[in-house]
Amino acid sequence: MITLNVNGKRLEVDVDPSTPLLWVLRDSLGLTGTKYGCGMAQCGACTVHLDGQAIRSCVKRASDAVGRQITTIEGLSTDLSHPLQRAWIEIDVPQCGYCQSGQIMSAAVLLAENPKPSDDDIDDAMSGNICRCGTYSRIREAIHRAAEMKTAGRRAE
Amino acid sequence: MTYLLPRLTTCVCILFVILIALLLYSVKTDALVQRDDARAKAAFLAIIPVLKHPRCLNCHANGDFPRQGDDNHIHAQNVRRGPFGHGVTAQKCSACHQEENVAGLNMPPGAPNWHLPPPNMPMIWEGKTPGQICQQMKDPKQNHGKSVEGIVEHVTSDKLVLWGWNPGEGRTLPPISHDEFAAKFQEWAKFGAACPD
Ligand code: FES
Ligand code: FES
């Protein structure tokens, strides 16, 4: 039995501590927004946050996440109000959608550390998230849009 | 008789201090047997094939990005060195690299504190002569303030250095063992740490 802190909740899960975090999230906790693409840290579909940093949950042992804050796409906001979620809807980014929760989780870390990223900053942050539908240009546009919304939101406050 | 006692104690103390000093001196001179530039240079040259091996060179190559594989290709995912050598924003080294290798072929290798040298001290070995590598390695302004002893300590026990000899499934090993590698570094230091020309 291990205790994980997921999206602000303490949850007990009965798994082997070496189980990849991705399996725990999807199979034990039913948080299926996070996707399985490759299982070897090569596609980015399984990206979640661990203490605010983007990690590939397919290669992270569940026991390594004990005592740390895990955030999945389900916990990014409770009401789709995160600027990235709003920008994604506005620009209609997804095609099939499979890669998109990983894309948004990576983009969220980028914007948290760099509120006004250039195209190069976006490439450096996002190149590990593969989209087989090729929505890259809309992803780029939506990140710029979310950055604007964030700055505008801050100005309005 | 009792008036002699304090003097006797003083004498014993002085003798003791001299003895300790002599002992320390002999230990120190033993560490640096005697300067022998030819042997120091030869020891350093024996280290070079390890430093130029992909397991080491892939993080000590030109450019602000790591390499992969025995062909030193640019790391997939457009991974960057970043301001501290730990990657950038959503692509930090620790996004994928764990504290140990993930089991299996083509899985991410890992060791504690997986990173590149930082941009202000990039410690690049690619395209450099043995002499240039040696000078760079010895320069405290380029090596994080390390003394020669500090360098020997680093290559002997740093976990990321040691990873080179336990790189995970499917990855080739440097041409000599870690014990031989560390022994060559010790030899280089012992004979005065001269750099090849
Ligand atoms: S499933 Fe984790 S990176 Fe592809
Ligand atoms: S939207 Fe289909 S994989 Fe990205």
Classify residue A157: in a domain, yes or no.
no
Q: Tell me which of A50, A76, A102 is where a domain ends.
A: A76
Q: Is residue A66 part of a domain?
A: yes
Chain B residues inside the 8 Å CB shell of A42: 76-77
DSSP annotation of A20 reads: B
Last residue of a domain, one of A22, A48, A76: A76
Q: CB atoms < 10 A from the CB of B162, how many?
A: 14
Evaluate whether residue B30 is within a structural domain: no
**A42 is a domain residue:** yes
Dihedral pair phi/psi, residue A6, rounded to 5°? -120, 125
Where do we find the tokens 């399985």?
A36
Whether B23 shows a pLDDT value over 60: the answer reads no
What is the domain count for chain A?
Answer: 2
Ligand closest in space to the Cα of A57 = 1
Which residue range is the domain that position B58 belongs to? Answer: 36-190
Measured between alpha carbons, how far is B20 from B22 in angstroms, rounded to an integer? 5
CATH code of the domain containing A111: 1.10.150.120
* B7 within some domain: no
* Residue A36 Cβ contacting ligand 1 at under 6 Å: yes
Identify whether A72 is part of a domain: yes
**What are phi and psi for residue B124, nearest 5 degrees?**
-85, 130
B47-105 residue pLDDT tens: 999 999 999 999 999 999 999 999 999 999 999 999 999 999 999 999 999 999 999 99
pLDDT at site B19? 62
CATH number of A19's domain: 3.10.20.30
Q: Is the dihedral of CA A33, A36, A41, A42 positive or negative?
A: negative
Strand-pair partners of A69: A5
pLDDT in tens, B114-129: 999 999 999 999 999 9
Which ligand 1 atom is nearest residue A38's CA? 4
Are A20 and A48 in a shared domain?
Answer: yes
User: CB contact, 8 Å: A61 with chain B?
Assistant: yes
A9 residue type, one letter: K
Among A31, A58, A76, identify where a domain stops.
A76
Closest by alpha carbon to A101, among A21, A28, A44, A24?
A44
- Chain B residues in contact with A128 by the CB 8 A cut-off are 76-79, 90-91, 95-96
Is A61 in Cβ contact with B88 (below 8 Å)? Answer: no
**Does the beta carbon of A95 sit less than 6 angstroms from any atom of ligand 2?**
yes
Q: Provide the domain count of chain B.
A: 1
Which range of residues forms the domain containing residue A7?
2-76
| pLDDT more than 90, % of chain A | 96
Is A101 found in the same domain as A46?
no
pTM given for the model: 0.89
